[in-house]
Structure 1
Amino acid sequence: MKTDRTNGTDLSDGPDPGRERDSPAGPGDGLAATIRGLLPSLTPASARIARLIVEDPAQVARSTISELSALAGTSDSSIVRTARALGFSGYPELRLALAASAARQPPRSTLTSGITRQDSPAEVMAKLVHTESQAVLETETQLDPGQLLGAVLAVCGDGQLHIAGVGASGLVAQDLHQKLQRIGRPCHAHGDSQSALTSAVLLGPGDVFLAVSHSGESRDVLEPLRRAAAEGATTVVITNHPQSSAARLADFVLASAGRETTFRPGAMASRISQLVVVDCLFVCVAQRTYEKSDHALRVTHQALESDRA
């Protein structure tokens, strides 16, 4: 019987919240998002192939292995290794998945291109709305329900909860902190590495340390995360890169999706998708603590209404 280490809850009848980071990417509308998330963990040759896949999956699906190797400037064996690194048994399986994914995608439009210096405000607005809408949809394909369940059960425990994020990720951490406080779940948010580190070393079994990092490689959260894990705390990471250093340290990985474009660096690209993950986590926690959360929301709403009056 599988039990959650934070509160002993029986998980045998529900999705497995354990690590599933070695499962194949699989066909689907989120295949390109999955590949983008794996890019930083690939070798240079494999990364070139992966970028071609992300840029035009339909063309790659039509290409033989020799045609793709010529296009990417790599060997046939590199393509086979790349397919396996992406979770497939070989290039034929990858081609089939890409063909299926491409068939589900709408025709490419100018909205998928980056913002240029010549774009009008209306064009900027249309491109940003399109890109961020895609990030939300792709996040649904990347966020694993089993991993989410494990994180929810950990957050619902009685131990301490510390949330860390620096820069734009710090804003996401603050958003989760505010939401959980509103439903009566005590927690602490840290926007700098020293505060996060000094809190992490004081945690223990039953406590939770949750880190937010777009790249999963930020030293500001990696060391606190490592120390929290060493002390026996349950660790959770929200990141766009499920093969990152932070993801490998975490008990539960909540993967988001967001693509960088011109004038839209990684921090900006990840914010919307990370907030979607935060909302999913928050709502699931509120569900499992319904009576307490409902009471807390009503009381705090009444307090705010009285203050405004």
Structure 2
Amino acid sequence: MSDTVAARLRKLLDGHRLTPTQRRIAHSMMGSATAVPFMSSVEVAELAGVSQPSVTRFAATLGFDGYPALRRHLREASSDEEEDAPGTSNEYQQAVAGELENLRRLSEALADPGPVTEAGRLLASSSPLPVLGLRASASQAYGFCYFAAKVHPDIRLLDEGGSMLRDRIDAAVRAGASALLCFALPRHPREVVEALAHAHKAGLTVVTVADSTLAPVARHSDVLLPVAVGTGLAFDTACGPMLLGRVLLEAMCDHLPEAQSRLEAFDTEAAARRLFAE
């Protein structure tokens, strides 16, 4: 019975973007699948360590008119659904499996390299090249910039919001920038959407790595490269966006004639300075 309930829960959760609180509820219910169909919303709230209204909102997010309707749905779990349960894998393994599926879909999308190739050309031709990523996307922007700075003459990381963000975009335009790269992963800060609108108005071509073609930043992006994030844990995982960022960097290098010589110069200097332990 518990496997069937867990299977029903997984089917309900598939395709829904949950808040961290809602994911906590989902994980708690998955971990107590045998008992959940007979628990009240108050008991589920205590199990997950959240408020009772959060459980009600969770049920509504899944398409039910309240928690009792969700509970009835789980009670109706029948034995013929057991084959849909994913064996004995735990939630951590399921999160990894979800990311593997995201990477498989990314591989299929890259069968047509045209969009990435065009994006690489646009980014390589921009000097300076501003790279925007706020909040959850900041680490993706930083990682891209760390490597891109080894092959591009002027990379400018924009990983802090506030009143200075537009000023820094404007400064990049005055310095000769023609394009901006943005990493836009959920949840999407309103400030990023506004910054991209300003970048467009300032004349920049916007290349965006986002989690969906329906992301709020899509309407301000000239080249949108969608790649899913993992949603199997309390917080999103971003293996796909990280890998796509490296692919994009590779495409950019193909349009930077001095990329290889810059890398060789860095390796020579790193060896002379003994930067690395190996």
Shared fold (TM-score, shorter chain, > 0.5): yes
**1:134 aligned to which of 96, 101, 104:** 101
Q: Secondary structure at the match of 1:258?
A: coil
**1:167 aligned to which of 125, 135, 155:** 135
C-alpha separation in 2, matches of 1:241 and 1:110: 26
Identity %: 16
Name the larger-Rg structure. Answer: 2
1:240-285 superposed Cα distances (whole Å, 9 cap, x missing partner): 111222111110001112231143x2xx32x211111111111111
Letter in 2 for 1:276: L
Letter in 1 for 2:209: I
Deviation at 1:133, TM superposition (A): 2.1
Match of 1:178 in 2: 146
Distance 1:165 1:299, change over 3 A: same
Letter in 2 for 1:308: R
Match of 2:263 in 1: 297
**2:86 aligned to which of 95, 100, 110:** 110
Match of 2:199 in 1: 228
Runs of 4+ in 1 over 4 A off after TM superposition: 111-114
Distance 1:112 1:242, change over 3 A: farther
Aligned-residue Cα RMSD (Å) equals: 3.1
Match of 1:256 in 2: 227
Deviation at 1:114, TM superposition (A): 6.9
C-alpha separation in 2, matches of 1:111 and 1:136: 22
1:241 maps onto 2:241 in alignment: no
Mapping 1:43-54, distance limit 5 Å: none
Distance 1:215 1:112, change over 3 A: farther
Contact 2:181 2:207 in 1 (8 A): yes
Letter in 2 for 1:196: L
Distance 1:228 1:130, change over 3 A: same
Match of 2:245 in 1: 278
Match of 1:84 in 2: none
Unaligned runs of 5+ in 2: 1-13, 19-62, 65-82
Distance 1:306 1:221, change over 3 A: same
Contact 1:166 1:191 in 2 (8 A): yes
C-alpha separation in 2, matches of 1:218 and 1:142: 26
1:196 maps onto 2:165 in alignment: yes
1:91-143 superposed Cα distances (whole Å, 9 cap, x missing partner): xxxxxxxxxxxxxxxx966379772xxxxxxxx3x434333222221222345
Contact 2:120 2:248 in 1 (8 A): yes
C-alpha separation in 2, matches of 1:299 and 1:282: 18
C-alpha separation in 2, matches of 1:255 and 1:185: 27
1:203-260 superposed Cα distances (whole Å, 9 cap, x missing partner): 2785212211113842131111110100111111110111222111110001112231
Q: Secondary structure at the match of 1:152?
A: helix
Q: Secondary structure at the match of 2:207?
A: strand
Match of 1:212 in 2: 183
Distance 1:176 1:111, change over 3 A: farther
Q: Secondary structure at the match of 1:279?
A: helix
C-alpha separation in 1, matches of 2:109 and 2:166: 29
